């Protein structure tokens, strides 16, 4: 039975093999993860809730709590949605079910996916399995920490400006933010609709590719989705001849990048060259100067519109009041935490008459320039590479008092998100005993190139990604 299952090391691909060969049943596997959760999640708080029964024919999966699951409470880390039990499945949850995956539970997130540390969750932060005094990143820190701590073989997150890539970097696993429009957003609690994308988190690049294959493709319920122009390829090549890798000069010029992160990134790049790839520099000046401000206008603007629906009437929690107005005001005041309130105010301001052209309109024009700048870089390069996060995991509480310091976590992940492009985090080394991630950016629909490069790098590095303190 499941005595043979070491959830800390088991990849999803190997778990699928165990189930296919009937060496382990789906229920036993589900039970093994629940047992690990029982042992370690008290400390790490990756899960907001777990599901006891394995209803499926395959391996388990963890879903970020912005992903609607029929009959299982979905809160997006917000008090305003507590008690909300969806009556339908999001398309990604339905696709996971159709593939036989069993829902292990819903993972912690910053409230409405707004944040970079999970400290904005209304239900308390998650912790980093490498060092529980540090954050796992965010907003999808729950999923990333769960995968690294052996509390799920894989999971789904959502990424608006880095919420899959950055927590994967800080926890030491692989995360893909897919090309905008390749994965359905139907049933995802909306943050910023022109940026939100769902994507996989797992221990290996191949696992991420396997899960991407399950969730990607056109969905009639989300008009922004398209059919993939080419099938998802499981990477196997160990060499990188013919691959042209561009390193944006302006990204590497950022002083925010810690020396240890820079060193691990540069050593990995040398390895990429040894594997046969051609590495060169490229220029994305606008993207790294204006990407962050552009995002922090567009994302709050869209959030202010999306969050207007939480009125205490239609979903979740309601406050009492003498009048309709008092009830709505009370529900929003008590239901939302500080970060969503901040974004609603910023976004409402940016969209208001008289300021619209100067802020929102201007940000949209800058966005177009960022799209073009990336497109011209991909005329010369197949993929771009930067560190994923400027720093390793930081201590809890370090940035909560300073919203701008928290927003600076996204300096490297945001530009390509604004451009709608896919990005893959691959662990590339350690600094201060904590994982460092390398971000590979591809052109639109360039996921296969990311998988190929990421897989070869992962194999060549051969890192032990089980958190040192959890190794037997």
Q: Which is nearer to ligand GLN, 161 or 446 (CB)?
A: 161
The whole-angstrom separation of Cα 415 and Cα 141 is 21
The whole-angstrom separation of Cα 124 and Cα 267 is 36
User: Least distance to ligand GLN from the beta carbon of 162, Å?
Assistant: 5
Q: Which is nearer to ligand GLN, 115 or 443 (CB)?
A: 115
The whole-angstrom separation of Cα 312 and Cα 300 is 21
Encode 50-92 in three state secondary structure: ECCCCCCCCCEEEEECCECECCECCCCCCHHHCCCCCCCCCHH
Query: Residues 404, 396: contact at Cβ < 8 Å?
Result: no
The whole-angstrom separation of Cα 396 and Cα 416 is 27
Closest residue to ligand GLN, judged by C-beta, is 163
Helix (H, G, I), strand (E, B) or coil at 217: coil
Q: How far is CA 62 from CA 4, 69, 106, in A?
A: 21, 11, 6
- Tell me which residues are annotated as active site: 64, 139, 163
User: Least distance to ligand GLN from the beta carbon of 284, Å?
Assistant: 19
Whether a cis peptide bond, with omega within 30° of 0, leads into 99 is no
Whether a cis peptide bond, with omega within 30° of 0, leads into 139 is yes
Largest CA distance in the chain: 70
Q: Which of 431, 401, 377, 27 is nearest to 261 (CA)?
A: 431
User: Least distance to ligand GLN from the beta carbon of 163, Å?
Assistant: 3
Which phi and psi (to 5°) does residue 431 adopt?
Answer: -140, 130
User: Least distance to ligand GLN from the beta carbon of 248, Å?
Assistant: 20
Q: Which is nearer to ligand GLN, 196 or 219 (CB)?
A: 196
127: enclosing H helix or E strand? none
Q: Which is nearer to ligand GLN, 123 or 191 (CB)?
A: 191
Token pair 């990995």 is at which residue? 268
Which DSSP letter does residue 437 get? E
Q: Which residues bind ligand GLN (CB under 6 A)?
A: 113-116, 139, 159-163, 191, 299, 410
Q: Which is nearer to ligand GLN, 29 or 393 (CB)?
A: 393
Token pair 């995802």 is at which residue? 188
Long-range contacts of 332-335 (CB under 8 A, 24+ apart): 332/80, 334/79, 335/78, 335/79, 335/80, 335/310
> 246 - beta bridge partners?
280, 384
User: Least distance to ligand GLN from the beta carbon of 175, Å?
Assistant: 11
The whole-angstrom separation of Cα 284 and Cα 286 is 6
User: Least distance to ligand GLN from the beta carbon of 393, Å?
Assistant: 15
Q: Which is nearer to ligand GLN, 126 or 139 (CB)?
A: 139
Helix (H, G, I), strand (E, B) or coil at 385: strand
Q: Which is nearer to ligand GLN, 113 or 438 (CB)?
A: 113
Q: Which is nearer to ligand GLN, 301 or 457 (CB)?
A: 301
User: Least distance to ligand GLN from the beta carbon of 201, Å?
Assistant: 13
Query: Residues 130, 393: contact at Cβ < 8 Å?
Result: yes
Which phi and psi (to 5°) does residue 155 adopt?
Answer: -160, 170
């Amino acid at each position: 039975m499941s005595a043979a299952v070491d959830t800390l090391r088991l990849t999803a691909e190997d778990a699928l093999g165990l189930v296919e060969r009937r060496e382990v049943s789906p229920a036993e596997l589900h039970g093994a993860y629940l047992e690990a959760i029982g042992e370690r999640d008290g400390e790490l708080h990756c899960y907001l809730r777990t599901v006891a029964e394995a209803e499926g024919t395959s391996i388990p999966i963890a879903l970020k709590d912005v992903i609607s699951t029929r009959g299982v409470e979905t809160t997006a880390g917000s008090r305003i949605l507590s008690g909300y039990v969806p009556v339908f499945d999001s398309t990604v949850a339905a696709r996971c079910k159709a593939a036989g995956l069993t829902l292990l539970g819903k993972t912690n997130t910053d409230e409405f996916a707004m944040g970079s540390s999970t400290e904005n969750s209304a239900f308390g932060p998650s912790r980093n399995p490498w060092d529980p005094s540090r954050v796992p990143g965010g907003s999808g820190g729950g999923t990333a920490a769960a995968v690294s701590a052996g509390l799920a073989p894989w999971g789904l997150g959502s990424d608006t400006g880095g919420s899959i890539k950055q927590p994967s970097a800080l926890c030491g696993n692989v995360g893909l933010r897919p090309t905008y429009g390749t994965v359905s957003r139907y049933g995802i609690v909306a943050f910023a609709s022109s940026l939100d994308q769902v994507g996989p988190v797992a221990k290996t690049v191949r696992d991420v590719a396997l899960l991407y294959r399950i969730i990607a493709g056109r969905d009639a319920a989300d008009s922004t989705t398209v059919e993939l122009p080419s099938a998802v390829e499981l990477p196997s090549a160990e060499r990188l001849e013919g691959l042209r890798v561009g390193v944006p000069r302006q990204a590497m010029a950022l002083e925010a990048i810690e020396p240890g992160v820079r060193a691990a990134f540069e050593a990995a790049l040398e390895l990429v060259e040894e594997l046969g790839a051609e590495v060169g520099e490229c220029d994305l000046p606008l993207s790294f100067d204006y990407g962050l401000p552009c995002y922090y206008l567009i994302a709050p603007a869209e959030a202010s519109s999306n969050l207007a629906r939480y009125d205490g009437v239609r979903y979740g929690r309601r406050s009492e009041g003498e009048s309709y107005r008092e009830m709505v005001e009370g529900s929003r005041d008590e239901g939302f935490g500080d970060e969503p309130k901040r974004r609603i105010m910023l976004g409402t301001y940016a969209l208001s008459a008289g300021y619209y052209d100067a802020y929102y309109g201007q940000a949209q024009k800058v966005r177009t320039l960022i799209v073009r700048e990336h497109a011209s870089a991909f005329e010369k390069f197949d993929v771009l590479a930067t560190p994923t996060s400027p720093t390793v995991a930081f201590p809890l509480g370090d940035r909560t008092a300073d919203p701008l310091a928290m927003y600076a976590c996204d300096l490297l992940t945001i530009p390509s998100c604004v451009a709608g492009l896919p990005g893959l985090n691959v662990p590339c080394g350690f600094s201060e005993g904590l994982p460092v991630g390398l971000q590979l950016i591809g052109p639109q629909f360039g996921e296969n190139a990311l998988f190929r490069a990421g897989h070869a790098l992962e194999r060549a590095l051969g890192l032990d990604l089980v958190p040192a303190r959890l190794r037997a």
